Amino acid sequence: MSTSIRVLLVDDHVIVRQGLRQVLGDAEGIEVVDEAADGAEALRAIRTRMDEGLDVVLLDIALPGRDGLDVLKQIKAEYPRLGVVMLSTYPDRQFAVRCLRAGAQAYLNKSADPDDMVAAIRKVAAGGAYLTPTVAELLATSISEVAERPPHEALSQREHQVFRLLAEGRSVSQIAQALNLSPNTVSTYRARILEKTGVRNDVELALYAVKQQVLMV
């Protein structure tokens, strides 16, 4: 039986997957066993590959339809012991702590050194967590300042997406189309966002976003 670390690549860009496959192909003891371009494909691949053995999912946070953070939560609900390394082009401060709190064992920027990526996969496959110095500092800061966090930082990833679009002046129907959701679902998210941020309407929400520097003017 192979002792290689078996990895699933999840990214909607073919070129990115090819680059990751090349990086990991040069690493001893790591085998890319499958690829997926979105969340639905990723979950199907995981359910198929788990019987054969799957050790780590390399998961992009920016996926079409259902985003990577939502997919991460589904993975952890079904396979809590499966290792997940999140990849992102966003600044670490925006999503790293959210991903770790949702169950990821590592968070790396796509510009990370290939050696860091290989090291993260090996550490996660062994059951550990891999934190870059930047992410470790962010995590420590978030723990020490949890009582001082502004309300919008308690939003889920999807709520945060809807929050930003509402603050930009998008209508419920426009947001539904942009995120491939039903208007009723977006309205539900909107109600949760208003409640969590303590504002009464979209105008106050936009003012809140500007004040918190979530929306720049």
For residue 209, the model assigns a pLDDT of: 87
pLDDT digit string (tens) for 152-210?
877 888 888 899 899 989 999 999 998 889 999 999 999 999 988 888 888 889 888 88
Question: Alpha helix locations (H) across 126-201?
Answer: 133-144, 157-167, 172-179, 183-197
- Residue identified by tokens 């090349």 is 22
Which residues, 6+ apart, have CB-to-CB distance to 67 below 8 Å? 39, 61, 157, 158, 161
C-alpha radius of gyration, the chain, whole number? 18
Tell me if the pTM is above 0.85.
Answer: no
Judge contact between 32 and 58, C-beta under 8 A.
no
Which residues, 6+ apart, have CB-to-CB distance to 92 below 8 Å? 107, 109, 132, 134, 135, 138
**Is the confidence at residue 144, as pLDDT, over 80?**
no
For residue 90, the model assigns a pLDDT of: 78
pLDDT digit string (tens) for 38-82?
999 999 999 999 988 899 999 999 888 788 888 998 999 999 999
Judge contact between 164 and 190, C-beta under 8 A.
no
pLDDT digit string (tens) for 110-132?
888 999 999 999 999 999 999 88
**Is the confidence at residue 143, as pLDDT, over 80?**
no
**Is the confidence at residue 147, as pLDDT, over 60?**
no
pLDDT digit string (tens) for 75-102?
999 999 999 999 988 777 778 888 888 8
For residue 148, the model assigns a pLDDT of: 60
pLDDT confidence tier of residue 20, bands split at 50, 70 and 90: very high
pLDDT confidence tier of residue 1, bands split at 50, 70 and 90: very low
- For 5-148, list the strands marked E by DSSP: 5-10, 30-36, 56-60, 83-88, 106-109
Hey, how many other C-beta atoms are within 10 angstroms of the C-beta on 179?
Answer: 18
* 97/142 Cα distance (integer angstroms): 8
For residue 44, the model assigns a pLDDT of: 94
- In the chain, the domains with their CATH numbers are 5-144 (3.40.50.2300), 150-211 (1.10.10.10)
